[in-house]
Amino acid sequence: MNPVGAAILAAFGALWCAMGLAAWRGGVDAIVVSPAIVAIAIAIAAIQVSRRTPPRDPAVNRRVQRVVGVASAIEGIAIFIAANVLANIGRADLVMPAIAVIVGLHFIPIAHASGRPAFLYVMMALMLALAGASLLLPPTSIRDEVVGFGAALLLWGGAIITLARLWRPDASPA
């Protein structure tokens, strides 16, 4: 994964955190915007790291971008379908865990293309474990908050780990 991938993880972490905050607070208000601060901080770090990281081979970069694009498109369609089906059968309480499962599974093709399969498989396993663990909570409980905050921490942690692995203090900025 590269600094751009870390910034994307950070942005989606902010979205998950905002969803968790919205579930916790019962709606969207100013506090829900606060996760953007974390995402912006990680994005700034990603810019700094990218200045110290050698560029990836353009052919590899195109292949990875293509796989990420296709996986993300399928992910978006699957989320749309799952959310609608679950809402229509009266199981809106399962939407957030279902989204977590879909997000976790979308890491599989990206792991193959990126050259960092172990890291992304761990991300996938943790996301699936989070979704599964949330199903142990009663439907009227804090399931959405657990999934939202848990996924945010997982994605932000993945972004920070990625940037820490890429950071080379001995490299001079480009």
Residue-wise pLDDT for 27-54, tens only, equals 666 566 677 778 888 888 888 888 777 7
pLDDT digits (tens, 9 = 90+) for 137-171: 987 668 888 999 999 999 989 888 888 888 866 55
Compute the average pLDDT of residues 105-128: 90
Q: What is the mean pLDDT of the chain?
A: 85
User: Does the pLDDT value for residue 26 go beyond 70?
Assistant: no
pLDDT for residue 170: 58
Higher pLDDT, 144 or 26: 144
43, 60, 78, 112 from 16: Cα distances, Å: 16, 29, 17, 25
- DSSP symbols for 139-166: TTSSHHHHHHHHHHHHHHHHHHHHHHHH
Output the CA torsion sign for 48, 51, 52, 53: positive
pLDDT for residue 131: 95
Higher pLDDT, 166 or 124: 124
pLDDT for residue 174: 45
pLDDT for residue 164: 87
Closest CA to 11 of 38, 33, 34: 38
Q: Taking the domains of the chain in order of start, what are their residue ranges?
A: 3-166
pTM of the model: 0.81
Which tokens in the block code for residue 164? 């820490």
User: Does the pLDDT value for residue 11 go beyond 90?
Assistant: no
